[in-house]
Amino acid sequence: SQQGEEDPQALSIQEGENATMNCSYKTSINNLQWYRQNSGRGLVHLILIRSNEREKHSGRLRVTLDTSKKSSSLLITASRAADTASYFCAGDNYGQNFVFGPGTRLSVLP
């Protein structure tokens, strides 16, 4: 299995600002995914980026992937209070083994 790790562990920003979170992983992946979790509830799948992609957009989300550095970033633009949550990355290594990092806790202050 492989471990993902998000950075920073916690991030506090003002509403309207952009939030950037990073993820690093240890071995090769087939795809990488980002999830959001509100306060101990279920995870919501945000976006998937495949190993042959470098950048992907979905609404206010922008994800990049650098397989040479084994890292990914998630950018949330024009953040809102409703974006307050924990964000996780998880990698799939051509199979079912899929490990999540401990997450970044994002607080968006009004």
Select 79 or 86, whichever has its Cβ closest to another protein.
86
Residues 64-83 interacting with another protein (rule: CB under 8 A)? none
Taking CB under 8 A as the criterion, the residue among 13, 56, 98, 107 binding another protein is 98
Write the binding mask 18 to 57 for another protein: x where contact by CB under 8 A, - elsewhere: ------------xx-x------xxxxxx--x---------
Encoded tokens for 18: 């952009």
Residues touching another protein: how many (CB under 8 A)?
A: 26
Select 40 or 110, whichever has its Cβ closest to another protein.
40
